[in-house]
Amino acid sequence: MKLSQPVLPVTQPVSLRLRLLESQSVATTLRLLRNGKGAFGAAILLVFVIMAAVGPQLAPYDPIELHLEDQLAPPSAQYWFGADELGRDILSRILYGAGISLQAGLLAVVLAAVVGVATGVLAGYMGGWFDGLIMRIWDTLLAFPAIFLAIGIVSILGPGQLNAVLAVAVINMPTFARLVRATTLSVRNKDFVLAARATGASDRRIMFRTILPNCMAALMVQIAIAVPTAILIEATLAYLGLGSQPPEPSWGNMLQSAQGYLYQAPTYGIFPGLAITLMVIGMNYLADGLQDAIDPRRQRARAKMS
């Protein structure tokens, strides 16, 4: 993936740049929505956001309410998606699970972004031993396949939704840190930064108000890419029994249970997975659209071809 050039002209005063940033965002959003993929993705995401927000009200049953006599019931008028091993309505649990998955994915990535960005900017700007140490830590983490690291972290912290989110966040931190550090390094010695320093601006001000805005575009894209993967990893952890605790309805958890009853209740294993797939497809399309919107060169390249 080619990183775009900074989208802001870098030689102009702060206030003007902030206003340009705003209008740039607006322009980007419009481009995003005009793009077919982006619109499709945004639409799907919207559906799930609504599901997360309003689903609990719409759900026909309380997701933790047991109906033991309807254990593993097949889909019917009473239970549209069937019932699970304790007679709980699968549809209701899926509706509630939307919020859990979305939250997990977003929270994990935002957390990763915050920590990654902070350390990346500091490392790139300060350099020296701090840079070496921090990046060495991140590089060590990158030497592990993500899933092993995630399982390991949850093992230390104990199973649970929050700890799964933390684990997914930690896996993503190195990428954000490297991204921001690279941009910081390339921008650090540019004129406008030197000028800012000459006028006596504090390091902190320089880092966060001058350098950081340059990373924004790439950051946004990285976040959009990371969220769907985060949702998948969190679902995987839940599937392995390391995610949210019973009786909370997490989609990954539901699949873990479903696998034990494939012969008795085949449809049990279908719906939670379908939900995860749809949510991730939507987010992927959104990420694609966002990339295209932010980096119009990709669109132009396409135009050249035909």
Partner 1 sequence: MSNKKNTTISRRSFLQLSAMAGVGLAAAACAPATAPSTTTTAGTTPAAAGAPTAGGILKYAETGEFNHFGPWQMGNVNTAMYNQVFGRLIWKDGEGTEHGDMAESWEMAEDGLSFTVKMYENIQWHDGQPCTAADFVTMYGYTKDEALSGESSVQKTANLMKPVIDVVAVDDYTIQFVFEKPVPYITEILDYFWAIRIDDKADPAFMTTLPVGTGPFKITEWVPNQYTKYVRNETYHHEGLPLIDEWVFNRLEKSETLLPNLEAEGVDGIFGPPLSDIARIQQDDRFWLEINSSAGSIFNIIVNTKLPPLDKKEVRQALSYSLNREAMVQSAFFGIAAPITTPFWNPTSLAYREDLVMAHPFDLDKAASLLAEAGVTDLVLDINVTSRWPQMKLFTLIWQADLAKIGVTLNVQEVENARFYEIGGAGDLLGISLHPWLNGRTSRDPAIFLGTQTNYRGDPTLNIYGWENAELEEIVAAGAVELDLETRRALYQRANEILVDELPMIQVATDPRVWVWAKKVQGPYIDLVGNLTLDQASITS
Partner 2 sequence: MQTYVIRRLLELIPALFAASILIFLMITLAPGDPVAMRLGTEATPAQIAAERTRLGLDQSLPVRYGIWLADVVRLDLGQSLYTNRPVTTLIAEAFPKTVQLALISLALSLLIGLPMGMLAALRQDRPTDTVITGLNALGLAIPNFWLGILMILFFSVQLRWLPPSGAGNADQGMVANLRYLVMPVLSIAVSNLSVFARFTRSALIDVLADDFIRTARAKGLAERVVINRHALKNALIPVVTIVGIQFGRLLGGAVVTESVFAFPGIGRLTVTAILNRDYPVVQAILLLVVLIFLVANVVVDLLYGYLDPRVHLGRAE
- In the complex, the residues that contact partner 2 under the rule CB under 8 A are 1-2, 136, 139-141, 143-148, 151-153, 155-156, 158, 228, 232, 235-236, 239-241, 252, 255, 258-259, 262-263, 266, 269-270, 272-273, 276-278, 280-281, 284-285, 301-302, 304-306
What is the total residue count of the chain? 306
| Burial of residue 29 (number of CB atoms within 10 Å: 0-12, 13-18, 19+) | middle
184-187 LR contacts (CB < 8 Å, sep 24+): 184/120, 184/121, 184/123, 184/124, 184/125, 184/211, 184/215, 185/124, 187/6, 187/10, 187/211, 187/214
- Minimum Å gap between C-beta 35 and partner 2 is 12
Decide if residue 74 touches partner 1 (CB under 8 A): no
Decide if residue 266 touches partner 1 (CB under 8 A): no
| Stretch of 27-35, 85-93, 201-209, 279-287 contacting partner 1, by CB under 8 A | 85-93
The rounded radius of gyration (Å) of the Cα atoms in the chain is 23
Decide if residue 269 touches partner 1 (CB under 8 A): no
Torsion (CA) 177, 183, 189, 192 in degrees, nearest 10: -120
Task: Please say whether the beta carbons of 201 and 219 come within 8 A.
Answer: no
Binding mask 198-237 for partner 1 (x = CB under 8 A): ----------------------------------------
- Minimum Å gap between C-beta 123 and partner 1 is 35
| Stretch of 32-40, 186-194, 240-248, 271-279 contacting partner 1, by CB under 8 A | 240-248
Residue 3 three-state SS = coil
51-57 LR contacts (CB < 8 Å, sep 24+): 51/95, 51/98, 51/99, 52/98, 52/99, 52/102, 52/103, 53/99, 55/95, 55/96, 55/98, 55/99, 56/95, 56/96, 56/99
**Of residues 20, 27, 66, 115, which one binds partner 1 by CB under 8 A?**
66
- Minimum Å gap between C-beta 95 and partner 2 is 18
**Of residues 9, 158, 204, 274, which one binds partner 1 by CB under 8 A?**
158
Q: Which is nearer to partner 2, 187 or 276 (CB)?
A: 276
281 contact choice in partner 1, partner 2, none (CB below 5 to 8 Å, kind-dependent): partner 2
Binding site for partner 1 (CB under 8 A): 64-66, 68, 71-72, 85-87, 155, 158-160, 241-242, 245-247, 259-264
